[in-house]
Structure 1
Amino acid sequence: MTSSFSGNKNWRDWFKPFARLGYGARGLVYLVIAFFVLSASVTAGSSGDAKSAIRFLTQSRISEVLTPLLIVSLAGYSLWRLVQAVFDTDHHGTSAVGLGTRIGLVGSAVSYGFLLLYSFSLWRGSGSSGDSGGFAEIAASFLGATPVSLILASIFLVVGGAHFYKAATRKYRDHIKASDKATAWIDIAAIGGLVSRGLIFFIIAFLFYRSGLSAGGDDQAGTGDALDFIAGLPFGNWLLAAMGIGLFLFSLYSFAEAIWRRINVEDA
């Protein structure tokens, strides 16, 4: 009995900082994306996406130290997202909103798993500068582009709605343990960041939906496509700058979660 408890305790002890590193990695990736977006808003250049951020981080002067840490951190984040979704450690339940949130957690685990593999391929020198396609391309080869596009559009719509719900109700506070002063600043970062990221998910849903209704349309859409869509709107540069600020706030929110988030693996 004592040995078993000690083993479980040790597992919790090493997994919690592992998961916190994951939130830090997410914050770092979104910090770089925000930099790209803000730069694009004043230069009319490409806004970039998560892969662009990963390439930037893995090809920087400190990449020999940063890249292995980034790979470990992304692994921690992906694994923690799966634990959250499967074991419902945050008690989202099985309501429509709860299931939508848990589906979003699985999607997050998969997407950051792809970033993990992409980071590793760059570290090993086998990565390319192009887009590898990912889940949408693989699934489309089996099911067809139109069904996959419509399914993904629905998923991103639900996940985007969950972000808005989380921001409006401040449900993120249920999982944050910080002082009142720190929470006031976390509110600014969380609400601004969640709304901005939710908007991106809504735009991705729209792009997938449009692709599904157009014969022979592209079966892929991502953050970069959503940001390019925003840039093409009237006053696109201003909207892009606002989105860059929102993504910067989301990076701050991620760093705050790395510090104050409850990593309740004992509920798994």
Structure 2
Amino acid sequence: MRTPDPLMLRHLARLGYAARGLVYAVIGSFALLAATGYGQSKDTNGALEAILSAPFGALAAMALIAGFICYAGWRAIQAVFDPDGHGLTPAGIAIRLGLLASGAGYATLTVYTWSVLDGVVEQEERKGSAAQWLAGVIGSQWAASLVAAVFIGVGIAHAWKAISMRYDDHFMAGGKVMSIVHPVAITGLLARCVTFFIIAALLFYRGLNAGKDGGSPGLKEALEFIRELPAGGWLLGGMGAGLLAFALYSFTEAAFRRINVRDAFQVEAPQSFR
């Protein structure tokens, strides 16, 4: 079996992180606009539609499709080959399963982006197909509880990553750069953690009601829930700023993250690749 080109895989992974950053930059921007009354909050699908409706949207779509494919592939490599050394401990397995789920999610976003670009999928057919399938297999309450547990687990992982600054282990940058990255990364990771917790709470509530009050909630519903709280405009504005920080964190990963392709495939790469 031919070993993948380490330099190419590094470029692909960085393109994927940049694509993730672009989507969250749009989500955070719309959250800020919604907080001031000049727009509506959006989820990842809504952010993609906003990008595709802009000038040069088709070109942006092709770049995003390439980026999402790269990111989904890199997540699969992280989960299967474990270049970051998470290991086979219970915590390590949980992290690797989360990485695999993240890859599957971005693979779905790839299909969604292509469907919007191609114009062959109707709006109602785009929503919640995976959640609906799972609910049909094991029931609405069990499906909602299971997905809620996944979001809680991912949220806890984000919080721990922020508090412990474990992300620092994966950066190749000097002290001056990291002095800027640290507040951005911590803010962004905690903001994403909060949204995951809210999504989990909404899923659990809807599971108790057997999904009678609507479909599976996502990022948009979480942001709208924040807006409806007391002082919701301020809270939503803060969350928007946090998601923009997560977008910046994604861009810094695209630039400075250590991509351990050599460790993943156990090959010796030239020094210039490291």
Normalised to the residue count of structure 1, the TM-score between the two structures is: 0.93
Aligned pair 1:173/2:168, yes or no?
yes
Letter in 2 for 1:133: G
**Can you give the 5+ residue segments of structure 1 that lack an aligned partner in the other structure?**
none
Name 2:271's counterpart in structure 1. none
Task: Go from structure 1 to structure 2 and tell me whether the alpha carbon gap of 1:256 and 1:248 turns closer, same or farther (over 3 Å shift).
Answer: same
Q: How far off its partner does 1:219 sit?
A: 5.0
Aligned pair 1:62/2:65, yes or no?
no
Aligned residues: 262
Poorly superposed stretches of 4+, deviation over 6 Å: none
**Can you give the 5+ residue segments of structure 2 that lack an aligned partner in the other structure?**
265-274
Of 241-250 and 77-86, deviating more is 77-86
1:1-268 maps to which residues of 2 (within 5 A)? 8=3, 11-43=5-37, 45-130=39-124, 131-217=126-212, 218-268=214-264
Task: Go from structure 1 to structure 2 and tell me whether the alpha carbon gap of 1:216 and 1:196 turns closer, same or farther (over 3 Å shift).
Answer: closer
Alignment partners' CA distance in 1, 2:114 and 2:157: 31
Alignment partners' CA distance in 2, 1:228 and 1:100: 30
Normalised to the residue count of structure 2, the TM-score between the two structures is: 0.91
Q: How far off its partner does 1:216 sit?
A: 4.0
Residue pair 1:36, 1:47 contacting (<8 A) in 2 also: yes
Task: Go from structure 1 to structure 2 and tell me whether the alpha carbon gap of 1:44 and 1:203 turns closer, same or farther (over 3 Å shift).
Answer: farther
Alignment partners' CA distance in 1, 2:115 and 2:151: 27
Residue pair 1:189, 1:253 contacting (<8 A) in 2 also: yes
Of 119-128 and 237-246, deviating more is 119-128
Residue pair 1:212, 1:219 contacting (<8 A) in 2 also: no
Task: Go from structure 1 to structure 2 and tell me whether the alpha carbon gap of 1:183 and 1:134 turns closer, same or farther (over 3 Å shift).
Answer: farther
Residue pair 2:128, 2:215 contacting (<8 A) in 1 also: no
CA RMSD of aligned residues (A): 1.6
Letter in 1 for 2:166: K
Alignment partners' CA distance in 2, 1:125 and 1:214: 34
Alignment partners' CA distance in 2, 1:127 and 1:57: 18
Alignment partners' CA distance in 2, 1:154 and 1:52: 25
Q: Deviations over 1:61-80 (max 9, x none)?
A: 11232211110000000111
Q: Secondary structure at the match of 1:36?
A: helix
Identity %, equivalent residues: 40
